[in-house]
A and B are shown apart, each in its own frame.
Chain A
Amino acid sequence: MSKQDNEYKRDKDNKKDNSKTATFFQDIKNLLSNNLLFQGEKQQEGFILTGSGQQEEDSKGEERKTEQKKEPSKKPVRVQRTLPKEDSKLHQEEGGLGSLLVDFQLKINKKYVEEIYSLPKNKDIVLREFMINFNPPIHAFAVFVDGLSDNSIINEFVLRPLMFFHKNKEIGIPDLAGFIKDNILPGNQVDVVENYKDIVEKINYGGTVVFIDGSPKALAVETKGWDRRSIGKPEAEQVIRGPHEAFNETLRSNTALIRKAVRNENLITEMFKIGKRNKTDAAIMYLEDLANPTLVQEVTRRIKSINTDYIGDTGVLEQFIEDHPFMIAPQILGTERPDRVASFLVEGKIAIIVDGTPNVLIVPTTFFSLLHSAEDYYLRMPYGNLVRLLRFAAIFISILTPGMYIAVTTFHQEMIPTDLILAIAASRQTVPFPTILEVFLMEFAFELIREAGVRIPGVIGNTLGIVGALILGQAAVQAGIVSPILIIVVAITGLASFAIPNYSMSFAFRGTRFIFTILAAIFGFFGISAGFYIFLSSLASMKSFGVPFLAPMGPKTRSEPDLFYRGPVWEMEERPDYLNTLDRRRQPKVSRKWTEDKGEENNE
């Protein structure tokens, strides 16, 4: 892998030097050599999900390697009181800050803080100096970020006890910070910290740190309290039946929502910090007694290995950790519904939460879970199946309708009933474009309306979508630019693409339909067939965290009645085979005990 990367870099460098034409030929050459010639071993799959945790050692090794590569921070730190040299790993990792410790002298600490936060230029950071009301009073100062921390907490539970209580308390206690923590500060989370790395972390995430003169340790008080969105309704995954809660932008409340849904002591929340400049908080959640340990390890490995400066959203993280970035279908499911996450967690999957996004990622994801919606399970079986049936029809409609229309009307006209073909022919009589252009024109207009509808603020957006579609369609027909039947085709395609529950997947299908349209325009049904073959093959070759994307259909494994058809809930007895969970059984053979009990009673 790394060797290839190097080669890639070298290629890039070479290209910069050469002139443009040379670059072009180089491109062609590379293209040909990449595709026509063989280039040594290709690692097809980085990771295959198997039974147990044999990969442990390997991954650790790699972890270490990646960490060593991290570049040192460029921020100059002038004054330093560092840790002993032997802990060089830590030293390197945080580029100086990590090794910096709190000084005895308050003055020096103040200088450090001012240096780190560029005070007083930086107006967000508040440095409040005060006296601790001991005998004699001790100088101290508190540092916090305005807006991130709750002012009333700081006033009531940090400054007030320190400044007013314990008057005339004799000093001379060796561990001043510890004493204050144990006796004076009533906050529920107070830590004694001595490392600037931790201090900065706390401050940056809404904590308040109190430095005390003469103490080599500081106190970090939990005072998070910024304005946040309250828990609202899901925007993209609405249901009629089922909970109406959605995640919001706060990591902690998201984990709480999940924990609230999965009340189990085995639910593990592992926290990570991703990004070098930003250090976004991320968490993975899984049920320890279910999730395959290798899977957990792999997820951890992938997340930890990311070396970038900023990850602001799960959408970005998804792109960093997915298996096939160039394939058309998403391999990770993003959802904003805690109930959905919970249902995946109890299947043995892993949830990835990133602070600042209301979308939670689920890995591994299969094609079918991307096409299921939460409501399928909340509805009674017959209704759920009806919805499923509709949805699977919608998939084919959204992919194939424009292509089919093109293929049928331009290559296989004999298929259409005579009356209809004559009607189509009549309605096309005034249209000055070939059908293919007509289709692209309308599809383009439709996508435009859709995109604009998202961007246009608030209420106008929806209205514009409908009005735009109606008026544009009507006008286009009247102007004789497109035929009326085409409007039906485009409308039904668009409608069908909205019926796909997953946003990414719906994008995938929307994109694919253009490929099918082009293929159909060249080769008719044969083109569609070829396109479908490639589409199917590419889906079948994909993997999501070691799980074949089309599992449990390809490869065929044992599965619950929950693919196209959704069986009764009491029949779903086992967890998906492809996950290799630690506990396969979801419920016993007879989960509705009352049916059995009644039988016994009758027997008696």
Chain B
Amino acid sequence: MNEVRIGHSEAAALAIICIGAKAFLGFPRFLAKMGATAGWMIILLAGIFSMVIWFGLSFLLQRYPGKSLTQITNHVVGKNLGLVFNGVILIYIIVATSIHLRLFSEAVVITALPQAPISALALLFLISVWIATHLGLEALSRSAAIAFPYLLIGVLAVLIALYPFWDFKNLLPFLGEGVTAVVTNGFFNITSFGEIFILAYLASFFSFSARRLRNVGLFSLGFVTLAFLFIVIVYLMVFPMPVATETLAPFYQLSRQIFLGRYFQRVEAVFVLFWTFTAFFYLSAGIIVSAVIIKEAVEIPYHRPLIPVLSIFIYCLALTPGDIVEIININRLLIVYGWAIIFAIPCLVWVLAMIKGKRGGPVDAQQQEEK
């Protein structure tokens, strides 16, 4: 068994930061485009949908306490098919991580360092992430738990400092692009909450019960939904509708907008600190989770040696696409269709597990052997 033990607040903080990181990229704009003035409703629905799915899947996790989703997949569908399933998930995570590495680096170029080459920025991201992941999952989750309240304060500071610009009229018409658009996009957008599966794939590292894990997941999803809701609502209130679909980096644009008298303005550079910090956590989690999935899928004893390989691979992959428009399109595709991988495969495993009716018996035996 793993000697690393992660408590519930660390787990929740890591999940929340990883899901929430995309709020600093184009996510609010994406929602504005899909739902117009009702963009916030999409995220609310998506949050509720993903909570329902997580609630369902948590029964699968409760069946095999102390086992991660990778191990469960292997156990339920057998090693060969499990390799395929886990492989698909792994590829998805690697692609998502590298896309985000590129997006975050692009965002730094656009917002803070227009002269710097993207490769250098991505490299700094990578070095920091490498060191952090090398120090271990425990350190990562702990620093996430420590940083979390401060990141939250940073985000809230931006949103509340914009109070003079809040105009509730901008949230009307109420249904935005219409009911159908809101509901369908609401469903497709569950991918935005896909990072919650970090909890499922790291389940073997947690010091708490699977039942607790379910609550941690629900809490994280609920919290992130609220946070997204707040961000999107403020975004739509500050940037009225046609303008809201234009900005490349909505959160940065929001922080640029802050104007509290002549002395407290132009502070967007400070908030670079906050959102790059979440980016570090997102990327670290992406790399470490991929490493852990490989480790557990092919049952090798350590995940640490995989980290350099994965880091370099992700770095190369991130720098492959040519321009920012391409990246954003890939990211859009990932959000629209990603649920088919990140949510559907675990659900399939769940269904298979129910059909086979395999209880956790053999797994427990295996556990005892290991001990």
A residues adjacent to B (C-beta < 8 A):
35-38, 41-42, 44-45, 407-408, 411-412, 414-415, 417, 523-530, 532-534, 536-541, 548, 550, 553-556
Contacts and interface: CB of A to CB of B under 8 A. Distances in A.
Given A523-B121, A537-B139, A537-B140, A556 B270 contact: no
Contacts of A414: 266, 269
B266 A554 contact: no
B38 interface: no
11 contacts: A44-B136, A412-B112, A524-B113, A525-B112, A526-B112, A526-B121, A530-B128, A538-B131, A541-B142, A554-B145, A556-B10
B131 A525 contact: no
B276 A38 contact: no
Interface string B1-41: 00100110110000000000000000000000000000000
A556 B7 contact: yes
A414 B252 CA distance: 14
A522 to B, nearest CB: 8
A38 B307 CA distance: 10
Contacts of B6: 555
B291 to A, nearest CB: 12
A113 B228 CA distance: 83
Q: Which of B125, B143, B147 has the largest count of A CB atoms less than 10 A from its CB?
A: B143
A573 B280 CA distance: 38
Nearest to B301: A41
A386 to B, nearest CB: 21
B262 A533 contact: no
Q: Which of A539, A540, A556 has the largest count of B CB atoms less than 10 A from its CB?
A: A540
A44 B131 contact: no
B270 A525 contact: yes
B146 interface: yes
B139 A540 contact: yes
A42 B301 CA distance: 12
A537 B131 CA distance: 8
B230 interface: no
Nearest to A412: B269
B304 interface: yes
Secondary structure class of chain B's binding surface, majority of residues: helix
B112 A537 contact: no
Contact of A529 (B132, B277, B302): B277
A541 B263 CA distance: 40
A537 B144 CA distance: 9
B87 interface: no
B288 to A, nearest CB: 12
A438 B56 CA distance: 61
Contact of A556 (B9, B140, B267, B304): B9
B10 A525 contact: no
A75 B147 CA distance: 58
Nearest to B306: A38
Contacts of A35: 308
Nearest to A555: B7
A417 B266 CA distance: 8
A45 B132 CA distance: 17
Contacts of B348: none
Contacts of A526: 108, 112-113, 121, 124, 272, 276
Q: Which of A38, A524, A530 has the largest count of B CB atoms less than 10 A from its CB?
A: A530
Given A412-B112, A532-B277, A537 B269 contact: no
A123 B318 CA distance: 76
B146 A415 contact: no
A538 B108 CA distance: 24
A536 B146 contact: yes
Nearest to B138: A541
Contacts of A527: 124
Nearest to A551: B142
A537 B146 CA distance: 10
B146 A554 contact: yes
Given A523-B113, A537-B135, A555-B7, 6 more contacts: A525-B269, A526-B276, A536-B143, A536-B147, A540-B140, A555-B142
Interface string B123-135: 0110110011001
B164 interface: no
Contacts of A555: 6-7, 9-10, 142, 145
A527 B262 CA distance: 28
Interface in B262-286: 262-263, 266-267, 269-270, 272-273, 276-277, 280
B124 A530 contact: yes
Interface in B136-184: 136, 138-140, 142-143, 145-147
Contacts of B304: 38, 42
A564 to B, nearest CB: 11
Given A550-B146, A554-B146, A541 B267 contact: no
Contacts of B128: 530, 533-534
Q: Which of A35, A528, A537 has the largest count of B CB atoms less than 10 A from its CB?
A: A537
A59 to B, nearest CB: 19
A379 to B, nearest CB: 26
B305 interface: yes
B98 to A, nearest CB: 18
Interface in B314-337: none
Contacts of B125: 530
Interface in B76-115: 108, 112-113
Q: Lowest 9 CB-CB distances: which A-B pairs, in order?
A: A38-B305, A554-B142, A541-B139, A412-B269, A541-B135, A540-B142, A537-B132, A529-B276, A540-B139
A211 B305 CA distance: 66
A534 B131 contact: yes
Contacts of A541: 135-136, 138-139, 142
Contacts of A540: 135, 138-140, 142-143, 146
Contacts of A538: 131, 135, 139
Nearest to A533: B280
A408 B108 CA distance: 15
A537 B143 contact: yes
A36 B267 contact: no
A550 B142 contact: yes
Contacts of B121: 523, 526
B243 interface: no
Contacts of B270: 415, 525
B352 interface: no
Given A530-B125, A530-B280, A533-B280, A553 B131 contact: no
A552 to B, nearest CB: 11
A307 to B, nearest CB: 28
B116 interface: yes
B134 to A, nearest CB: 9
Contacts of B108: 526
A415 B139 contact: no
Contacts of A550: 142, 146
A383 B304 CA distance: 47
A553 B148 CA distance: 11
Contacts of A523: 113, 116, 121, 124
Nearest to A531: B128
A123 B302 CA distance: 63
A44 B136 CA distance: 10
B315 to A, nearest CB: 14
A415 B269 contact: yes
Contacts of A539: 143
Contact of B132 (A41, A534, A553): A534
Contact of B277 (A36, A533, A553, A554): A533
Q: Which of A41, A527, A534 has the largest count of B CB atoms less than 10 A from its CB?
A: A534
Contacts of A554: 10, 142-143, 145-146
B7 to A, nearest CB: 5
Contacts of A529: 272-273, 276-277, 280
Contacts of B272: 524-526, 529
Nearest to A37: B305
Nearest to A414: B266
A481 to B, nearest CB: 28
B146 A533 contact: no
A553 to B, nearest CB: 5
